[in-house]
Amino acid sequence: MNQYDGTAAPQPRLDDGERERRRERAAALAAELPVKDVTAVAMTWVDTSGITRTKAVPLSRLEYAAAWGVGMSPVFDVFLLDDSITQGRYAGGPAGDLRLHPVLDRLVPLAGMPGWAWAPAERFTQDGTPHPIDARWLLHREVERLAAQGLSVRTAFEVEWAVSDGDGEDFVPACNGPAYGMTRVSELSDYLRDLLRALEASGVEVVQIHPEYAAGQMELSVAAEDPIGAADTLVLVRETIRSVSFTHDLVASFSPKVAPDSVGNGCHIHLSLWQDDPAEGGFNTMAGGDGPCGMQGTGEAFAAGILERLPALLAIGAPSVASYLRLVPSHWAGAFACWGLENREAALRFVTGPLGDRNQTANVEVKCFDGAANPYLTLAAALVAGRAGVDGEFTLPEPVDGDPAGLDPAERQRRGIHALPSSLEESLAAFERDTVLRDALGEALVDTVAVVRRGELALFQDATPEEITTATRWRH
Ligand code: GLU
Ligand code: MG
């Protein structure tokens, strides 16, 4: 057991053999196309506030970084979105050093930033054990816990972003066409084409791209992967969108609320729960059963587990003060704790997919999460909630059709449909009370999340919606 965490999970250690394997792999990759031609490798991790931070090495240094990592302060765990720094019980202060190791399996040149490659990073302590509050590591641990029960998850994030002209201060929509309008694609056809080319060159499987509802807003969906792969892909997709935007003199905002009076940017997560590994004949528990909408018992229990904990999960998946300007009824953001078949106003939207393909496609979409969230942490927390549902054999309540905001409050009460937290303060309180999440994620993570959320609440204590959106707009 270490000082951070009472869960006593096994801690794989980077021993000499593993360091040597990583060094050799990096040497081979650096000598071959496509990596051979790059000048530098950017290693990224996502902080508690949801900001992707980085350290880069020249390609000649990749071998060393793969074996021994690159030094960086653990203080980033308590950075706030304005780069001010708070202090927790387990993180903070100027002392200490972690080692940032590139994940070589995901190393890829960035087509939107010629000469650069990218790799997500894992953070280790100096003695070679994983940093216990590293979000990627926490997700890895949750994936393993599900695997120990013969379960695996296929998942993908949907990315919504708003494209702006200008200098990155005010938001000036880069296109004027209508929502979902082909006009917007015509206006931005070079940009969107370059974006798709860049993503393809980086190995991202895009399944759809389209103009969204709000001014200048776009959306892109990618193919489902294992949870760690999906979170890595989200980081790669966002950084590619950002860099391709810059090369077209545009600026991308992934903020939950770009302008105070508009629909915001969501970052919905689609999840399906598989019994056994899909690559080895496993099957999707969200189809082919006799439960609601064809779910099998395990799939239903997993979805019900997430539904049950949504108020607490919001402290991770809707982590910013601005998140609650987005999460309002009748904006397709999912402001009510309920589920429904294809219902875009339910926080949990069940998607069956077309008849004939449901064994592959049926999934549950969590709509209430947004682009300020750390994707690794969000998935880790969602998997904890889903697993608790499976362990407790949870069942779903009646599904909801239509907009719950349109129901009489007494009717909502009768059907057990509750509004989700309308402030970060409220979701943080639910998160801190939640012993299942606390036990699984560990005290250190819970404390670190809590101090960062409190820090951001204090930053915006007397702020107007305009001030909050302005301060958040270009940060994630
Ligand atoms: N932009 C909406 C949100 O804030 C989602 C629209 C949709 O259903 O895709 O999440
Ligand atoms: Mg959308």
HSE (side-chain half, CA atoms, 13 Å) at 260: 9
Percent pLDDT > 90 in the chain is 92
Q: What is the pLDDT of residues 160-189, one digit of tens each?
A: 999 999 877 899 999 999 999 999 999 999
Element at 273 (helix H, strand E): strand 269-275
Q: What is the mean pLDDT of residues 397-406?
A: 95
- Residue 4: the pLDDT is 33
Q: What is the pLDDT of residues 447-465, one digit of tens each?
A: 999 999 999 999 999 999 9
Supply 175's token pair. 């296109």
Neighbours of 167 (CB within 10 A): 9
Q: What is the pLDDT of residues 424-440, one digit of tens each?
A: 999 999 999 999 999 99
Dihedral-angle region of residue 35 (phi above 0 means left; psi in -120 to 50 means alpha; beta otherwise): alpha
Ligand 1 in reach of 317 Cβ (< 6 A):
no
Outline where DSSP puts E strands in 15-173.
40-46, 52-58, 70-72, 98-102, 108-109, 116-124, 151-165, 172-173
Q: What is the pLDDT of residues 230-279, one digit of tens each?
A: 999 999 999 999 999 999 999 999 999 999 888 999 999 999 999 988 78
**Cα 42 to Cα 109: distance, rounded to the nearest angstrom:** 10
Q: Which of 373, 393, 178 is nearest to 285 (CA)?
A: 393
Alpha helix ranges (H) inside 188-296:
189-201, 227-247
Please report, as a single letter, which amino acid is at residue 204.
V
User: If you take atom 8 of ligand 1, which residue's CA is the nearest one?
Assistant: 332
- Residue 463: the pLDDT is 98
Q: What is the mean pLDDT of residues 62-70?
A: 97
Q: What is the pLDDT of residues 338-364, one digit of tens each?
A: 999 999 999 999 999 999 899 999 999
Please report, as a single letter, which amino acid is at residue 315.
A
- Residue 11: the pLDDT is 53
Query: Distance, CA 264 to ligand 2 centroid (Å)?
Result: 10
Please state whether beta strands 98-102 and 336-341 pair in parallel, antiparallel, or not at all (unpaired): unpaired
- Residue 1: the pLDDT is 28
State residue 162 phi and psi, 5-degree precision. Answer: -110, 135
Ligand 1 pocket test, candidate residues 180, 213, 221, 366, most atoms within 8 A of CB: 213
Q: What is the pLDDT of residues 276-315, one digit of tens each?
A: 887 888 999 999 999 999 999 999 999 999 999 999 999 9
Q: What is the pLDDT of residues 216-230, one digit of tens each?
A: 999 999 999 999 999
Ligand 1 pocket test, candidate residues 253, 332, 350, 366, most atoms within 8 A of CB: 332
Number of H helices, E strands in the chain: 15, 17
**CA pseudo-torsion sign 417, 450, 46, 26:** negative
Q: What is the mean pLDDT of residues 392-414?
A: 95
- The answer to whether residues 77 and 451 touch, using CB atoms and an 8 Å cutoff, is no
Ligand 1 in reach of 128 Cβ (< 6 A):
no
Q: What is the pLDDT of residues 354-390, one digit of tens each?
A: 998 999 999 999 999 999 999 999 999 999 999 999 9
- The answer to whether residues 353 and 360 touch, using CB atoms and an 8 Å cutoff, is yes
How far the first Cα of the chain sits from its last, in Å, is 34
472: pLDDT strictly greater than 90: yes
- Residue 2: the pLDDT is 32
Chain center to CA of 433: 23
Neighbours of 180 (CB within 10 A): 13
